Amino acid sequence: MIFGIGQDICNSKRIEATLNRFGDRFKNRIYTNAEIEKCDSRKNYVDSYARRFAAKEACSKALGTGFKKGVFYKDIEVVNLKSGKPTIILRGGALEQFKLLTKNDKSAKIEVSLTDDFNLAMAIVIISN
């Protein structure tokens, strides 16, 4: 059963401009320490930040809340498994909304797909069991 689907597209140039203008203030408001460390270690760090931003937006849409009802950007963490596959870890308000949405179904999971090409980053998130 599909509980929620969300998608988002993000302009990498917009993220780059925001990083240039606000730097660490933007990073620390939106991303976890692990995400910042991962993105900053990448050659194409702007694209990495943009993909994660799109994933956070897509996940908030799949939860059915957007960034309301106690769901904040840092509640949604995008990490990579050892295989390189991206996955999402939820905390705080995002985790609470996930439990409400899935009626605390222990088999519920989040799948995320990320891509980018020429200044655009896109993410699709599916919450299902």
Cα(62)–Cα(125) distance, integer angstroms: 6
Contact 64, 70 (CB under 8 A): no
Q: Show me where the domains of the chain are located.
A: 2-128
- Tens of pLDDT, residue by residue over 12-36, are 999 999 999 999 999 999 999 999 9
Nearest to 37 by CA among 84, 9, 29, 28: 28
CATH assignment, 2-128: 3.90.470.20
Tell whether pTM > 0.85: yes
Average pLDDT over residues 28-57: 98
Q: Angle between the 12-22 and 45-62 helix axes, to the nearest 10 degrees?
A: 110
